[in-house]
Structure 1
Amino acid sequence: MTGERGVEPGVEPGADLGVDLAAVVAEQPDPLLFATVSGAHLYGFPSRDSDVDVRGAHLLPVDALVGLREPDETRSRTWVRDGVEIDLVTHDLRKFVRLLLRRNGYVLEQLLSPLVAHTTPTHAELVALAPATVTSHHAHHYRGFAGTQWRLFEKTGELKPLLYTFRALLTGVRLTRGGGLCAHLPTLADDAGAPDYLPDLIAAKAEREHAAADVAPARVRDDIDRLHTALDRAQDTSPLPAAPTAHDALNDLLIRARLTR
């Protein structure tokens, strides 16, 4: 793990995932401001054959932004390293900040992931500003993500999209109630309203990435509907603001980072 970060760093993913993420960071064409692990490892239910989702923000040089050419603000690559499939996606800091201000739960989770492969002082500043980007309307993100995963579960019957559905709804309920961001399903399984069979489903997913879900469809459907209702109520009564309050501070951070690259 490199650099400093003003939050609990969690585990060092390079040691736990069987792949050298420090080398991945060093190979990037532009400086990475941070790189974290997302996906099933962040959510707490990786399988033996899960890929490693690495997410982060990079910093383009000024001359890439002031000319006639449109810059490539997102870089995406999937490959196998040391026998592990890596899925890498990073955004230029300007795009990352814009997504953060648009109430995007994906980038919020990536920024605050405790599975840190690389960090910098700019990362620490982003983390400190993150609470001022959280709004009651983040419920829309988690509602939409849960709906997409539920439809996939209905189509395939696989355990993975079902766990993603539960994870999204439980994360959304806790966040929208003002309880902070938690993307870790084993932790969320202790929250009020989480079904008591979640730990068994998590254990089953650890054995195989595309295992079928051994569940009673009617019971699961009732639990999902109940969590959707809980998310609706959490949004209606949320103590969170309706809009981010960090716009000016993030704008200043972006300018400073760009001009001192």
Structure 2
Amino acid sequence: MIPDPRLLRITAAQPYPLLFATISGAHLYGFPSPDSDFDLRGAHVLPLPMVLGLDARDETIEDSRIIEELEMDIVSHDVKKFFNLLLKKNGYVLEQLCSPLVVQSTPEHEELKQIARGCVTRNHAHHYFGFVETQWKLFNKESPPRVKPLLYVYRVLLTGIWMMRTGEVEANLVTLNESFRLPYVPDLIARKLAGPEQSTLDDADMSFHEHEFHRLLAELEAAQAASALREVPAESTRLALNDLLVRIRLGSGKA
């Protein structure tokens, strides 16, 4: 991705140095609308006095507003918090770290991506179970039901299944469907992009997609049961993260 120059300026204006900044959300998932906001995600490096003192602050930076005519949703975590999240069954941070839509990178970002491969576990399936349950409830709550939340349902299910089968992080629904070949996914994406007049579903659609939801949910359960992934990250992965964190902190103190 060649970033919009405005994204580069917005990233450069963040209050702390960034280890990386990527785009998440609909752009990452493969079905952004022309008016989709930009979900900027990253990890920042707090200065040494802030992490050595008694009061921890700015471990998470959040900012949602229009900047340079772009609707932005910005979230970044301090590197220690981000690394600790990687060691938990948190699919969000893995997807953000591995997003190919890179606005800013560093050598440490590339190193972190390699280490994070060891953070992928069978227990990440629980993240996707919880995530898709929430998305399915949101989808069913609307009347008439809309295509957009349904696409999120399929994106979450296929990402989880793919991770359990391969150990790889892939959040783009279009890319995932090159392997899953669900014939209705391209049509749903086209309907979402066509605008509100084609973005709702009728009762026949609902019946079909409810069946597909339960079928793919069962596939995710089966993929987790059959997965060769570890239950938790290896100690060597934790030590590698710790070593990288120490080097980043020491480097931040040289300025």
**Contact 2:136–2:150, Cα closer than 8 Å, also in 1:** yes
* Structure 1 residue 67 corresponds to structure 2 residue 58: no
Q: Does 1:223 align with 2:209?
A: no
Give the TM-score normalised by the residue count of structure 2: 0.92
Deviation at 1:181, TM superposition (A): 1.5
- Say whether 1:251 aligns with 2:242: yes
Take 1:22 and 1:58, find their aligned partners in 2: how far apart are those partners?
15
Superposition deviation, residue 259 in structure 1 = 1.0
Name the CA distance, whole Å, in 2 between partners of 1:31 and 1:136.
Answer: 33
Cα pair 2:21 2:40 within 8 Å, conserved: yes
Q: Distance in 1 between matches of 2:194 and 2:80?
A: 39
Specify whether residues 96 and 229 from structure 1 end up closer, same or farther in structure 2 by C-alpha distance, changes over 3 A only: same
Distance of 1:80 and 1:95 partners within structure 2: 27
Aligned-residue CA RMSD (Å): 1.5
Q: Quote how far apart the aligned CAs of 1:183 are.
A: 0.7
Q: Shift in Å at residue 208 of structure 1?
A: 3.2
**Partner residue in 1 for 2:149:** 161
State the distance in 2 between where 1:211 and 1:141 align: 31
Matching of residue 214 in structure 1 with residue 201 in structure 2: yes
**Contact 1:149/1:161 (CA < 8 Å) preserved in 2?**
yes
Partner of 1:79: 65
SS at 2:72 equivalent: strand
The answer for the alignment partner of 1:173 in structure 2 is 161
Match of 1:233 among 222, 235, 253: 222
* Mapping of residues 1-261 of structure 1, within 5 Å: 11-14=1-4, 20-156=6-142, 157-178=145-166, 180-192=168-180, 195-208=182-195, 212-214=199-201, 216-245=205-234, 246-261=237-252
**Cα distance between partner residues in 2 of 1:209 and 1:62:** 49
* Residue range with higher mean Cα deviation, 117-126 or 174-183: 174-183
Question: What secondary structure is seen at the aligned counterpart in 2 of 1:77?
Answer: strand
Tell me if the contact between 2:10 and 2:67 (Cα under 8 Å) persists in the aligned partners.
Answer: no
Equivalent residue letter for 1:54: L
What whole-Å deviation, never above 9, does each CA across 1:12-36 have from its counterpart, x for those lacking one?
Answer: 232xxxx611101111111001000
Structure 1: gaps of 5 or more residues:
1-10
In 2, distance between residues paired with 1:61 and 1:82? 28
CA spacing shift, 1:40–1:209, aligned 2, 3 Å: farther
CA contact (8 A) 2:120 2:167 kept: no
Bigger shift: residues 183-192 or 85-94: 183-192
Structure 2, gaps ≥5 residues long: none
Q: Distance in 2 between matches of 1:154 and 1:200?
A: 20
Q: After TM superposition, which residue ranges in structure 1, 4 or more long, deviate above 4 angstroms?
A: none
For residues 201-224 of structure 1, what are the alpha-carbon distances to aligned partners after superposition, in whole Å with 9 as ceiling and x for unaligned? 011112337964335111100000
| Residue number in structure 2 paired with 1:3 | none
> Aligned partner of 1:135: which letter?
T
Structure 1 window deviating more from structure 2 (51-60 vs 22-31): it is 22-31
Q: Aligned partners of 2:244, 2:105: CA distance in 1, in Å?
A: 16
Contact preservation (8 Å) 2:157, 2:220? yes
Question: Where is the helix percentage greater, Structure 1 or Structure 2?
Answer: 2
Instruction: State the identity as a percent.
Output: 48
TM-score for the superposition, normalised by structure 1: 0.90
Shift of 1:82: 3.0
Q: Flag the 1:210–1:137 CA change in 2: closer, same or farther, 3 A.
A: farther
The question of whether the paired residues in 2 share the 8 Å contact of 1:37 and 1:110 is answered with: yes
Is 1:160–1:210's contact at 8 Å kept on the other side of the alignment? Answer: no
Mean Cα displacement is larger for which, 60-69 or 43-52?
60-69
Show CA shifts across 1:80-135 (max 9, x none).
12322011100000000011110211000000000000000110110111110000
